[in-house]
Amino acid sequence: MKTLFVFDDHAIPFRSNVDLTLLQGVKYSGNPVLRRGKPGEPDARWARLWGGTVLRDKGKFRMWYSGAGSVQEWMLMTFKMLYAESDDGIHWVKPDLSLAEYNGSKSNNIVNIEYPVEMPAVMIDEGEDIPAEERYKMFSENLKGEKSLPFVAVSPDGIHWEVVAHPKHRGVALYKFNGYYHSSFVLYTPELPGGYPGGRVMGTIRSRDYKNWTGEPCVAFHRANYFMNPPDISEQVHTPAGFWNRGNVILGVYGQIHQIEAKTGTKFARAGSGMEDTTEDLGLILSNDGIHFREAIPGFKFVGRGEKGEWDGGSLVPANSFVNTGDFTYLYYGAWQNGMCFDNSAGDVGLAYWRRDSFGYVRIRNADESAVIQTEAIEATGRGRKIYVNFDMDSFREGCGLKFELVDPSGRVLPGYSEEESVMCSNPGLFRQVRWKEHQGIDKDVLVSVELRVILVTNGDRTPYLDTCSSPLLYCIYIADENENLE
């Protein structure tokens, strides 16, 4: 199934008389959902989801994170790779795996792997030709001081891991797209396009076979306002982790590091270095090729840090942790209390959520003009396709809704698929089917690529608090095969 988000200007390139609004995640009231351990446990100082992973596997939520039991372990970078699981994504347990000794006991949740693991970026490889013992894959690094030893590993169960290769570059993310494995990381580049000096940007590498990776990275993303000198004292890209393959688009969450007022600090900064003034929020990026990323709205805070003094009031750090569950989308994140100073910082794991796939919407701008969006080409497959919309309404619903047309490559409306023949969607929901009087979707006898035109219909009423017209709020469009499972 393809998901065409309204903030994806490649999937929906044509639009008129609509405004785009992005939505911040709502933080779960019971945060943090996973707390650091008791004294003597491997995550007593930090239950660190930074660059870690949360995914849903066979009905169960599974989390891979790293832990530090003390400041000394933090400084020596001897993080342990830890595991937790949950039935509902909110109440988590740390199972006793009894695999590795820590403080004289094997009663802990440390997984079986030969290295310390700083950022466990895990994915499940669903390819038909993937051996069972390689179903779980991970890209991480063993970091000591300033030296990094990147590695990739495989596992049959996500608990017992085998290192199989050492790429040249580090990685804090792992995703598969268009037949390639990809990993992204903080790249300290000498210059940006145009010859501007650079500090932290996002680099991406890729591999066809998972073991042999590109020798040089791509400069995949830098902030729109990031032209500065000297490096490290500006709005930058930090910890570029957290990617979600939606079939036709990759969504990502990255660290928006705010360092304008902070003094220049070292990577392992101590209190008093100025790094305690550094803060970080989470931003949203997307890509249609898996390599080049952009922001739908530059600088938008996808998840904002808490108030000073709160558990997440210093800096938020992203993870590979988008999960759709029922009517909601969950995103898990880590926190780095008190800026970026390791000697007085600690962290737990929090949860933010949205209405499912509802990260932003388009609405009618002017009630007196036609409001239309039109998708990229939907290729002919020779089999039936169903189309669904995910939309809501503002306070006035009567007379509002969505109508539809299918047009061919020359822009002509297909017979039977005109606006006049469409059945208006006026009942908001997550998967509302697009239909015409004689068609339940794109029939299998439509043998040319088509584009879907969506007409936003208003009754002209004004909302009670804003000078805007009543409007449907369209979040995304789903294109599915006729019998495809919508989950």
Q: Cis ω on the peptide bond leading into residue 298 (within 30° of 0)?
A: no
Domain end call among 302, 333, 355: 355
* 482 residue type, one letter: E
Is residue 486 one of the residues assigned to a domain? no
Please classify residue 148 by burial: count the beta carbons closer than 10 Å to its beta carbon, then call 0-12 exposed, 13-18 middle and 19+ buried: middle
What are 324-348's pLDDT values in tens digits? Answer: 999 999 999 999 876 667 777 788 9
Q: Cis ω on the peptide bond leading into residue 230 (within 30° of 0)?
A: yes
- The C-alpha atoms of residue 71 and residue 268 are separated, in whole angstroms, by 12
**What was the pLDDT predicted at 482?**
85
**What was the pLDDT predicted at 198?**
67
Q: Do 327 and 412 have their domain in common?
A: no
Confidence tier at 470 by pLDDT (50, 70, 90): confident
- Assign residue 464 the CATH number of its domain: 2.60.120.260
Confidence tier at 212 by pLDDT (50, 70, 90): very high
Is residue 389 one of the residues assigned to a domain? yes
pLDDT at 349 > cutoff 60: yes
- Assign residue 35 the CATH number of its domain: 2.115.10.20
* 268 residue type, one letter: F
Residue 73, phi then psi, degrees to nearest 5 = -65, -35
- For the segment 302-307, the average pLDDT, to the nearest whole number, is 95
Q: Is residue 81 within 8 Å of residue 49, measured between CB atoms?
A: no
Confidence tier at 34 by pLDDT (50, 70, 90): very high
Domain end call among 309, 338, 355: 355
Q: Do 334 and 366 have their domain in common?
A: no
**What was the pLDDT predicted at 137?**
98
Is residue 285 one of the residues assigned to a domain? yes
List CB contacts of 108: < 8 A, sequence separation 6 or more: 41, 42, 82, 94, 96, 97, 98, 100, 102
Number of domains in the chain: 2
Confidence tier at 295 by pLDDT (50, 70, 90): very high
Residue, of 259 and 118, whose pLDDT is higher: 118
List CB contacts of 133: < 8 A, sequence separation 6 or more: 154, 155, 156
- For the segment 407-431, the average pLDDT, to the nearest whole number, is 96
pLDDT at 301 > cutoff 70: yes
Range among 266-270, 272-276, 302-306, 465-469 with highest mean pLDDT value: 302-306
- Lowest mean pLDDT across 1-10, 81-90, 166-175: 166-175
* 259 residue type, one letter: Q
Confidence tier at 191 by pLDDT (50, 70, 90): low
**What was the pLDDT predicted at 76?**
82
- Lowest mean pLDDT across 143-147, 247-251, 429-433, 473-477: 143-147
Instruction: Quickly list DSSP for 67-111.
Output: EESSHHHHHHT-PEEEEEEESSSSSEE------S-BTTB--S-B-
Measured torsion, CA atoms of residues 28, 34, 36, 42, in degrees rounded to the nearest 10? -160
* Residue 108 belongs to domain spanning: 24-355
Is residue 456 one of the residues assigned to a domain? yes
Confidence tier at 229 by pLDDT (50, 70, 90): very low
Q: Do 127 and 160 have their domain in common?
A: yes
Q: Do 128 and 248 have their domain in common?
A: yes
Measured torsion, CA atoms of residues 479, 485, 486, 487, in degrees rounded to the nearest 10? -140
pLDDT at 263 > cutoff 70: no
**What was the pLDDT predicted at 454?**
98
Residue, of 367 and 61, whose pLDDT is higher: 61
- Lowest mean pLDDT across 179-183, 258-262, 407-411: 258-262
Q: Do 267 and 191 have their domain in common?
A: yes
pLDDT at 43 > cutoff 60: yes
- For the segment 24-52, the average pLDDT, to the nearest whole number, is 96
Q: Do 12 and 44 have their domain in common?
A: no
- The C-alpha atoms of residue 159 and residue 95 are separated, in whole angstroms, by 11
pLDDT at 265 > cutoff 50: no
Mean pLDDT of the chain: 90
Q: Do 214 and 312 have their domain in common?
A: yes
Domain end call among 299, 320, 355: 355
**What was the pLDDT predicted at 343?**
74
Q: Do 311 and 425 have their domain in common?
A: no
Q: Do 318 and 459 have their domain in common?
A: no
Q: Do 32 and 64 have their domain in common?
A: yes
pLDDT at 206 > cutoff 90: yes
Q: Do 346 and 205 have their domain in common?
A: yes
* 84 residue type, one letter: A
Q: How many Å is the maximal CA-CA distance in the chain?
A: 75
Q: Is residue 261 within 8 Å of residue 334, measured between CB atoms?
A: no
Q: How many CA atoms lie within 13 A of 143 on its CB side?
A: 20
**What was the pLDDT predicted at 465?**
61
Q: Do 262 and 321 have their domain in common?
A: yes
List CB contacts of 19: < 8 A, sequence separation 6 or more: 362, 363, 364, 365
Is residue 487 one of the residues assigned to a domain? no
- The C-alpha atoms of residue 356 and residue 430 are separated, in whole angstroms, by 7
- The C-alpha atoms of residue 435 and residue 455 are separated, in whole angstroms, by 13
